[in-house]
Amino acid sequence: MDTELNAGEIHRLLDIEEIRALLARYSHLCDARTDTSFVREIFTQDATDDHGLFGKVFRGWAELEDMYQRSSEFLETAAHFVTNEQIEVSGDTSTARSYVQCWTWLRESSHLGKLRPADYVLVGVYHDTLARTPDGWRISSRLLRPLGTGALGLGTPHPVYFAAYGEAPVGTAGTAGTAGSAR
């Protein structure tokens, strides 16, 4: 056994495990949020986030909090299912790609009651870079890119996504109901 090799490999496994847990923690904190302070537990202070939303890249805690605040205006809640993690570590930086399904419940559907289906599901790939900080690994940049033909898995998205992803759905607008329901 090459002890030195193993020390490096153990540290690599520990880093991968911590980063995978961070990607999971993002969902847990984001989906259960009552405010936007979770941003500071996940992202570096000068992190960038390019979700393709609101026509800009958000940079730094204050702007990221603003991005999540804006989305809270039309989202009642969401559930981010993260899978297919590919995590590479190089010293104190890391690159990670993962798949996400974002199941989304809009405020405008709240009259349908709590036991209603999601309004839509978005699907995409997170392209993250991460940094090792004194508080552990944090995301330093996040880019969301579509899976599928245009990031839509199911349902009809909020109009903010038409701008983000370049077009309104053709032929389905005005006819598609909430996920799984017929009108």
| Footprint on residues 87-146 left by a copy of itself (CB under 8 A) | 87, 97, 99, 101, 103, 105, 110-118, 120-121, 123, 125
Is residue 165 a contact residue for a copy of itself (CB under 8 A)?
Answer: yes
The answer to whether 38 and 69 are in contact (CB under 8 A) is no
Least distance to a copy of itself from the beta carbon of 39, Å? 18
Cβ-based nearer residue to a copy of itself, 59 or 107 = 107
Interatomic CA distance for residues 30 and 28, integer angstroms:
6
Stretch that binds a copy of itself, among 38-46, 50-58, 132-140, 152-160 (CB under 8 A): 152-160
Is residue 154 a contact residue for a copy of itself (CB under 8 A)?
Answer: yes
Q: How far apart are the first and last CA of the chain?
A: 65
Cβ-based nearer residue to a copy of itself, 18 or 63 = 18
Task: Find the binder of a copy of itself among 37, 45, 81, 92 (CB under 8 A).
Answer: 81
Cβ-based nearer residue to a copy of itself, 25 or 56 = 25
Is residue 147 a contact residue for a copy of itself (CB under 8 A)?
Answer: yes
Stretch that binds a copy of itself, among 8-16, 41-49, 53-61, 136-144 (CB under 8 A): 8-16
Residue with tokens 């599928």: 148
Task: State the burial class of residue 76 (Cβ atoms within 10 Å of its Cβ: 0-12, 13-18, 19+).
Answer: middle
What dihedral do alpha carbons 101, 177, 68, 103 form, nearest 10°? -20
Least distance to a copy of itself from the beta carbon of 140, Å? 21
What dihedral do alpha carbons 92, 144, 44, 158 form, nearest 10°? -160
Contacts of 150 by beta carbon, 8 Å cutoff, 6+ apart: 165, 166, 167
Cβ-based nearer residue to a copy of itself, 69 or 159 = 159
Interatomic CA distance for residues 73 and 86, integer angstroms:
32
Least distance to a copy of itself from the beta carbon of 60, Å? 26
Record the tokens describing residue 50, joined without a space.
């390019």
Is residue 160 a contact residue for a copy of itself (CB under 8 A)?
Answer: no
